[in-house]
Amino acid sequence: MSNIYGDWLKAQREAAGLTQQELAEQAIMTRSHISHIEAGRRIPSKDDARRLDRALNTGDVLSSFLPDEGAAVAEYFEAARVLEQQAVVIREFALSYVPGILQTERYARAVLTTSFPPVSEAECDRLVVTRLERAKVLRDPVSPVVLVLLDEAVLRRAIGGPDVMAEQIMHIVHLVGSGRVRVHVMPFTLGFHPLMDGMLTLMSFEDQPPVAYGEGLRMGKVHDSPSVVQELHGRYDLALSDALPLKESLALLRATAKDYGHHD
pLDDT: is 69 or 137 the higher one?
137
Distance CA 144, CA 254 (A): 25
22: three-class secondary structure by DSSP:
helix
Distance CA 254, CA 258 (A): 6
Q: Is residue 30's pLDDT more than 80?
A: yes
Ranges 56-70, 114-128, 228-242, most confident: 228-242
User: Residue 68 — pLDDT band, cuts 50, 70, 90?
Assistant: low
Q: Is residue 123's pLDDT more than 80?
A: no
The pLDDT value given to residue 72: 27
The pLDDT value given to residue 22: 94
The share of the chain scoring above pLDDT 90, in percent, equals: 56
User: Which of 16, 18, 69 has its CA nearest to residue 46?
Assistant: 69
Ranges 31-35, 119-123, 255-259, most confident: 255-259
The pLDDT value given to residue 74: 40
User: Residue 240 — pLDDT band, cuts 50, 70, 90?
Assistant: very high
The share of the chain scoring above pLDDT 70, in percent, equals: 94
Distance CA 236, CA 194 (A): 8
Full-model pTM: 0.73
Q: What is the pLDDT of residues 211-233, one digit of tens each?
A: 999 987 667 888 888 999 999 99
Distance CA 228, CA 231 (A): 5
User: What are the φ and ψ backbone dihedral angles of 99, each rounded to 5 degrees?
Assistant: -55, 145
The pLDDT value given to residue 70: 41
Distance CA 42, CA 34 (A): 9
Q: Is residue 91's pLDDT more than 70?
A: yes
